[in-house]
Amino acid sequence: MSNIQRITRDGISPDVERPDPAKVLAGDPVHTTWNIEERGNIYSGMWQSTPGKWRVSYAEWEYVYIHAGHSILTDGDGTVTHLKAGDSYIIRPGYEGTWEVVETTLKDYVIIA
């Protein structure tokens, strides 16, 4: 295995799922995940979701880079963060709020659990 890994969906069978129905606030979001690498407590790959809104609670640290779409994260205090193509963010453990996909969103992710 090379020490350099390209981030791509090519040749990877995706996992397709929906968020826990008890957390869904609007729509019927479908999540598609292309897991590229798992090493101990580090996970990386690509994730896509169709429109909808659900509650989130992060126990892990996550870096995201948005390739396409528009999502809105709203924390418990009402602070709104728009994620659009070209944006990159870190979501830290302890973040609680909602994730709303306005336009189907595709992101790269690196998670440290």
Per-residue pLDDT in tens (0 to 9) along the chain, 113 residues: 689 988 899 999 999 999 999 999 999 999 999 999 999 999 999 999 999 999 999 999 999 999 999 999 999 999 999 999 999 999 999 999 999 999 999 999 999 99
Supply the pLDDT for residue 1. 66
3 residue type, one letter:
N
Which has the closest alpha carbon to 7: 39, 44, 33?
Answer: 44
DSSP category for residue 59: S
**pTM for this prediction:** 0.94
- How long, in residues, is the chain? 113
The ranges assigned to domains in the chain are 23-112
Query: In CATH, what number does 23-112 get?
Result: 2.60.120.10
